[in-house]
Structures are given as C-alpha cells and as structure tokens.
Structure 1
Amino acid sequence: MKQLYLNYLNTFRGLSREVWWLSLITLINRAGTMVIPFLSLYLTQSLEFSLIDVGWIMSFFGLGSVVGSWLGGKLTDKIGYYKVMLGSLSLTGLLFVLLQYVTTFEGFCASIFVLMLVADMFRPAMFVALSSYSKPENKTRSVTLIRLAINLGFSAGPAVGGGIITSLGYNGLFWVDGITCVLASVLLLNVLHPKKAKVLDSFKVENPISVYTDKAFWIFLIAMMLFGIVFLQYFSSMPLYYKEIHHLSELEIGLLMGINGFVIFLLEMPLIKWLESAKYTKIGLMFFGGILLASSFLVLNLTSWGGVLVIGMLLMTIGEMIAFPFSNAFAMDRAKRGNQGEYMALYSISFSVAHIFGHNSGMQLISKIGFDKTWYIIFGLALLSGVCMLVLRKMLVNETKSE
C-alpha cells in the first residue's frame, strides 16, 4: 500500500512551482463560483422568475461565456496572460457582489452576460500561462493537475454553498463568491507576478498563422464541440433519467454523480502518466475517449438493470479522463503555429457553444421522443465526433508529408 501511495505521488513530480500555484488559484476560483449550481433555484424561488425566463437567462450565460473566451484570447495576445487573469479575477469578484442587487428579468440577462464575459476571459489566459509555466514534456500532466483543481472546486463549492444558503441566505453566497475571486487575484498578484514567476516555455512566432485559416484546428474544434454536447448530458439530462426511469433518490443521484469526481481525483494523473509513456498519439487517445463516452449511453439501452448506471458512469469518466487532457495538450501544441491566445480562446469557445446547445437540445429531445431514442441520437453525435477525429488525423498526416 505504501508503494502504491509513493507511485501515486511520483506522478506529480516534475511539475513547476508556478503550475502548482496556478492550480491553487484555479481551485479557489472554481470553488468560489458556488452561486452557479444554485442559480436556477435562486431565480425561481427568490426572484420568482418562470422557467422560460430562466431558460433565456441561461442562454445569456452561455453567450457571455462565448464572448468572454474570445475577448480573453484577443487581450492575452495583446497585453499578456498575467494582466488578463488578474483583471478577470478582480472584476468578477466585484460583479458577483453586485449581482445580488439585480432583480428584474432584463437586468439579470444583461448582468449575467457581463459577469460571464468577464469571468471567462480568465480561461484562455490561464491556458497560455499554463503552457508558459510547463516544460514541453509536462504539458499534459500540467493540464491534468488543473483539471483536478477544477473538479475539487466544483465538488467542494456546491457543498459549501448549500451551507452558506442555509445559514446566511443567497445574499451571503454572492458575497462569499465575490470575496473568493478577489482572494484568488491577491494570490495571483503575490506568487505569479512576472518578476517572480519562472517561464519555462517561451516563444514568439514571427509570422503567425491565423487560427481562422487553420482548417485542421477547425475540424478539431467541431469534434470537441460535439464531444462537449454529448458530455454535458450527464449534468442536465442524465439526472432526470436517473430520477424518472430508475427512480433514484436525490441522495442516490448525488452518490452516483460523485463517482465521477472520486475516480478522477484518484486515477486521472496516474492514467495520464502511463498513457504518455506508452507513446500513443493525442488524436488516437481523444478518439478512444470519445468511443468510451459514446458507449456509456449505448449500454443504458441494453438492460434495465440498475447496475448499468454505474457502468455508464465509469465509461463516461474514463473517456473524459483520456479525452480532455490530451485535447487540451493538442490545442496548446497547435497554438504554437500562431497567436496562442487566439487559439486557446476558440478551444474554450467550443465548450461554451456546447453549453448553449447541449443542455437545451437534450431536454427537447427527451420531451419529444423519450430517453431511449435520445440516447441513440447522443450516441450518434459521439460517433460523429470520432469521425471528425479520424479526418483530423488524416489532415495532420498530409501536413507532415507536405512540410
């Protein structure tokens, strides 16, 4: 057992001090956005908005994320990742505090759009910073550490948020969200200031290729958007399936969803280190991750046995653990052809677009054709993502031959 523990710790060795600090800042930031999981409850119960109103507000939420990711990439290329991250964290903290004073539908649509615009400027800047603070051979594991921080933040945030709502109400939640964002910016100011941080992979492209002319990268973005639409069903449509078809309680649904975070925390870093040493291609691993995700929906239609829910969750989790870190590493590698911020912005936007269409399309399909047929359609979308990966692999091979 001791050797197993030591082997687990060894998978984290070699990562730079700056990557660890960036992970801690990300953890504080993600744990701090604990108002997001409770947003629909706040809007319907405290502000008495209708479900249609909430749907429109969530659309503005997604649109703000798209614009913020794009703007964050542009600003990163112009003024640098450090200033963008610091500005985003500081302003997001202020906007979270102010959001509690918005009570009209129109005002909330505008406010949530601006909040997400500012908040998601952080993402492309953070990815560029991560690339700069990582040695080339450690980039995938560095991404994995950031993912661990995000998962821990998302796991702890709702639990703490529920306690805050119970004791202080929703107003207290907005204040805590704002304060944690400001604390993250203070930490960033003290540990990752350009005079203190050590850059390990710095380069400047003299004649950068525009991401908008990089056809291979666009195929990759389409594949990731489709993957995102499929993946997000586990956080919107799937809980309804657990409740309505398998009659699970809220506690049982929570425990089942908790398998995802627990397995990621326990196994993702060792798995990534092993896959890196096995010398598989990033495209091949992303394809395999997509197949596992697709299978997680297909198995649900094969039997009514309750244990299949655990099998589906494990297939999805393993697929996620493989696909996301290597897709992120591929995007960072590809970004060396042009302006890094521009590339990483579009990578972030692919998931923002998935948020806009993924949740709503799943709900609409379920209401019209039921769960079983919806899972077949979702399975087909996952396979289409895999086809895009195969096309991408062929394009990259042709690129290599022509160079």
Structure 2
Amino acid sequence: MKKLLRNYIDTFSGLSKEVWWLALITLINRMGAMVIPFLSLYLSDNLCFSLGQIGWVMTSYGLGSLLGAWIGGKLSDTIGYYKVILSSLLLTGLSFFVVQYFTSFWSICISFFVLIAVADAARPAFFVALSAYSKPANKTRSLTFIRLAINLGFSMAPALGGLMIATIGYSGLFWVDGITCIIAGIIMIKTLHPKKARIIDKEIIVDNPTPAYSDSVYIMFLIALTLFGFIFVQYFSTIPLYYKEVHFLSERNIGLILAMNGVLIFIFEMPLIAYLESTSLSKIGNVINGFLLTGVSFILLIITPWAGIVIIGMIIATVGEMISFPFGNAFALDRSKKGRQGAYMGLYSMSFSFAHIFGHNSGMQFINQYGYNNTWVLMTIISMVGIFLLFVVKQKVNKENTSKELKSV
C-alpha cells in the first residue's frame, strides 16, 4: 500500500509551482460549476421548457462557446493569456449573478450565449499558459494534472448541486458559480503576476508562424475531436434525462453518478497517463483507444434495460475520457509549435464548441423523434467515423516523421 501511494505521489513530481497554482484556480472555479451538469434539468423542471426548446438553448450555449474560444485564442496572441484568463473569470462570475433572472425562452438563449462566450474565452488562454509554465517533458502530465483539478471540482459540483437543489432550489447554484469564479480570479491576481506572464508570452511567439487553418493534418484531427465531443457532451445533456426518464433516478442519484466520473479521474488518471507514457503507444494511438471505449459505453446502454448498466457505462466512458483528453490536448500543443499557440489552441477549443452547438441539440431532437436507443446507435456510428479519421491522422503524422528523419540523415 505504501509503495502504491508513493508511486501515485511520484506522478506529480517535477511540475512547476505555476502549474500547481493554475490547478488550484481551476479547482475552485470548477467546484462552483454546479449549473452546467443540471442545466437540462433546470430548463425542464424549473422553467418547463420542452425537449426541443432545451436543445436550442444548448445550441446557444455552443455558439457562445465557439465565439468565446475564437476570441480567446486571438486575444491570447495579442494581449497575453494572463489578462484573458483573469477578465474571463471575473466577468463570468458577474454573468452568473445576472443570468438566473432570465426566464423566457429567448432571454435564456441570449443570456447563456453571452455567459458561455465570456467563460470559454479563457479556454485557449489556459492551454497557452500551461504550455508556457510546463517543461516539455512534463506537458502531458501537466495537462493531466489540470484535468484532475477540473474533474475533482466537477465531481464535487454535481453532488453539492443535487443537495443544494433539494434544499434551497436552483437559484443557489447561480450564486455559488458566480462567487467561485470571482474567488478564482482573486487567487490568480495574488499568485501569478502579470509581468511574469508577459515575459513568457514573448517566449512562445515563433518566426513565420504557420496559420492553424492551413495545417490539414491538424484540421482533420480537430474534425475527429469534434465528433468525439459530439458524443461526449451527451453525458451532460441527454444522458441525465435518460437516467431520470428511463431509469427513474432522482437528481441526487444523478448527481452522484456524475460525481463518480470525477472521483475516478482524480484517483486513476495521473497513474494511468504516467503508465501509458512509458509505453510505445503514440498520442494519437491513445486518443483512438479512448474514443473506442467511449463509443462502447453507448452500446452498453442499448443491450440491456438493467439499471446497473448506467454505472458500468459511466465507468467505461470515464476511462475513455481519461485516455483521450490528455493525449489529445498534448498532441494539439505539440502541433501548435508550428504557429501561434493562441490561434492553434483557439481552434482546438472551438472543436468542442462545435460539439456543443450540434451535439446537445441533435441529441435532444433525435431522442424526441426516435427515442433513446436509436440515439445511442447514432452515437456509436459517429464514434466509428471519428476513429477512422484518427487512423488517417496517425498515418499522415507517421509519414511526416519519416520524412523529417530522412531529411536529417
């Protein structure tokens, strides 16, 4: 047991103190992210929206995320990631205070569009900051560590959110979300000095940068990642409804199942990534394996009506997530060395924004028309297409590496 604990602790060694501060800021911010996992339930139960309306609200969410990611990537390359992250945290906190007072369909669509645009402007900036604060050999582990903080926060948020809904209602979620964003911003002011951030920003600029949109291999990778995001976002929109409407689970139990995702990541992701890095598998190879597992989790929901399958499915999807996201992030950061990192990571963040735009709404509309099981079949097919594209990316990257080796001889 002591050896296992020591090995676990060793996976965190060598990370810079700035990465630890970024992780703490992320943890506090995500601990308060109670609204997002319960958004579809909030719109359904509290505001009495139809499935079709909920789908369009989720589309507004995705459009806001797309705009925010694009603006955040541009601003990270111009004014620096420190200002982008700090402004996003503080303004997002204020936005959460305001958005709870909107109740009509169109006001909800517009307010969530603005809220998520402001919040997601920080996403590419966080990636650029993490790249600047990490040693090259530690980038994947640093990314995994930040994800650990994100998921630890998310594992606490649904459980706390479910209890809060049962006691004081949905309005408390918005206040807690807003307060934690502002607290995270204050900690950033105290720990990560802007002068140091500006110096590091100058170090990441390259001469004659390659435009991210002209990197065909990277674009194909992002298309595959968008498909992965398309099926993954179902775990935060359609699947909570599936738990409630098909398996008759309460908000409290739904929160606990969602929290299990974060707990598993907190315990197992760092050791798993450390192990996979020691193998001969490439970053893209690991993304493929993670994508495959997530696709399998939807197949399980089809084959049996047994309620316990939702837990097994969540475990398998979580393992897929643990593998895909860190190595996908690391591949994107490696590729971004060809150009301006903000632009590259902005496109990376936008790929998930596209998933939000089309994934939530399509899932809701498809369920409304064809039912849950047919929707899970569709998600399985989409995963197969994404895996095929990643295989093509893997082959192209191998050819690029071979060509570089031949030129260096």
Mean Cα deviation higher: 299-308 or 67-76: 299-308
Partner of 1:311: 312
Q: CA deviation at 1:191?
A: 0.6
- Structure 2 counterpart of 1:88: 88
Q: Residues 213-268 of structure 1: CA distance to partner in whole angstroms, max 9, x if unpaired?
A: 11001100110011111222233333444455555565554444443222211111
Describe the SS at the equivalent of 2:299.
helix
SS at match of 1:130: helix
Change (3 A) 1:163 1:379: closer
- Which protein has greater RCO, CA pairs closer than 8 Å, 6+ apart? 2
Question: 1-side partners of 2:258 and 2:227: how far apart?
Answer: 22
Aligned pairs (5 A) from 1:354-393 = 354-393=355-394
Do 1:133 and 1:201's aligned partners in 2 also have CA atoms closer than 8 Å? no
Q: Secondary structure at the match of 1:116?
A: helix
Residues 18-37 of structure 1: pairs in structure 2 closer than 5 A:
18-37=18-37
CA distance in 2, matches of 1:64, 1:232: 15
Q: Distance between the aligned counterparts of 1:267 and 1:331, measured in 2?
A: 23
Provide the C-alpha distance between the structure 2 equivalents of 1:135 and 1:156, rounded to a whole number of angstroms: 30
Following superposition, the deviation at residue 143 of structure 1 comes to 0.9
**RMSD (Å) for aligned C-alpha atoms:** 2.7
Query: Per-residue displacement from partner, 1:126-157 (whole Å, max 9, x unpaired)?
Result: 01000111111111111111111111222222
Question: C-alpha deviations, 1:294-340, integer Å up to 9, x for none?
Answer: 22223444445555444333321211111110000111111111111
Indicate conservation of the 8 Å contact 1:335/1:343, yes or no: yes
Greater mean deviation of Cα atoms: 7-16 or 99-108:
99-108
- Separation in structure 1 between the aligned mates of residue 255 and residue 168 of structure 2, nearest angstrom: 24
After TM superposition, the structure 1 stretch with the greater mean CA deviation from structure 2, 329-338 or 29-38, is: 29-38
Could you tell me which residue of structure 1 aligns to residue 8 of structure 2? 8
Aligned to 1:111: 111
Q: What's 1:236 paired with?
A: 237
CA gap of 1:207–1:3, structure 2 versus 1, over 3 A, is same
Q: Deviations over 1:6-63 (max 9, x none)?
A: 1111111111111110011011112223233444455556656565544433322211
CA contact (8 A) 1:16 1:134 kept: yes
Residue range with higher mean Cα deviation, 48-57 or 143-152:
48-57
| 1:160 match | 160
CA contact (8 A) 2:234 2:359 kept: yes
- Taking structure 2 as the reference length, what is the TM-score of the superposition? 0.89
Amino acid at match of 1:143: L
Q: Is structure 2 residue 189 aligned with structure 1 residue 189? A: yes
Cα distance in 2 for partners of 1:172, 1:374 equals: 33
Corresponding residue number in structure 2 for 1:339 = 340
- Helix, strand or coil for the counterpart of 1:3? helix
Q: Which residue of 1 aligns with 2:149?
A: 149
Q: Is the 8 A contact 1:135 1:200 kept in 2?
A: no
Secondary structure of the residue that 2:349 maps to in structure 1? helix
Q: In 2, Cα distance between the equivalents of 1:7 and 1:374?
A: 42
- The question of whether the paired residues in 2 share the 8 Å contact of 1:85 and 1:125 is answered with yes
Matched letter for residue 382 of structure 1: S
Structure 1 pair 375/101, CA: closer, same or farther in 2 (3 Å)? closer
- Taking structure 1 as reference, are residues 90 and 373 closer, same or farther at Cα in structure 2, changes over 3 Å only? closer
Gaps of 5+ in 1: none
Looking at structure 1, the residues matched to 322 and 202 of structure 2 have their Cα atoms a distance apart, in angstroms, of 25
Structure 1 segment 191-206 matched on structure 2, within 5 A: 191-195=191-195, 202-206=203-207
**Residue matched to 2:329:** 328
Separation of aligned partners in 2, 1:166 and 1:244: 18
- Distance, in Å, in 1 between the alignment partners of 2:282 and 2:106 is 48
1:209 equivalent in alignment to 2:215: no
Bigger shift: residues 160-169 or 356-365: 160-169
2:407 aligned partner: none
Give 1:275 shift: 0.6
1:376 partner letter: V
- Give the letter for the 1:272 counterpart: I
Bigger CA drift: 318-327 or 227-236?
227-236
SS, match of residue 371 in structure 2:
helix
Whether contact under 8 Å (1:237, 1:362) holds in the other structure is yes
Question: Aligned-pair distance for 1:183?
Answer: 1.3
Equivalent residues of 1:140, 1:325 under 8 A apart: yes
Aligned residue number for residue 133 of structure 1: 133
- Can you list the C-alpha shifts for 1:93-141, whole angstroms capped at 9, x where unaligned? 2222232444554433322222111111111000100011111111111
Contact 1:300 1:308 in 2 (8 A): yes
| Deviation by residue 1:176-233 (Cα, 9 ceiling, x = unmatched) | 3222211111111111114467959943210000011110011001100111112222
State the 1:292 CA deviation: 1.5
Give 1:70's aligned residue: 70
Alpha-carbon distance, 1:350 to partner: 0.9
- How much does 1:286 deviate? 0.8
Counterpart CA distance in 1 for 2:243 and 2:46 is 27
- For the 8 Å contact 1:133–1:200, the answer to whether it is kept is no
Q: How does the TM-score come out when normalised to structure 1? A: 0.90
Q: Using the TM superposition, give the Cα deviation of residue 341 of structure 1 relative to its aligned residue in structure 2, in angstroms.
A: 0.7
Distance 1:22 1:392, change over 3 A: same
- Asked if structure 2 preserves the Cα contact closer than 8 Å seen for 1:232 and 1:355, the reply is yes
Name the residue aligned to 2:219.
218
Structure 2 stretches lacking a partner, 5+ long: 405-409
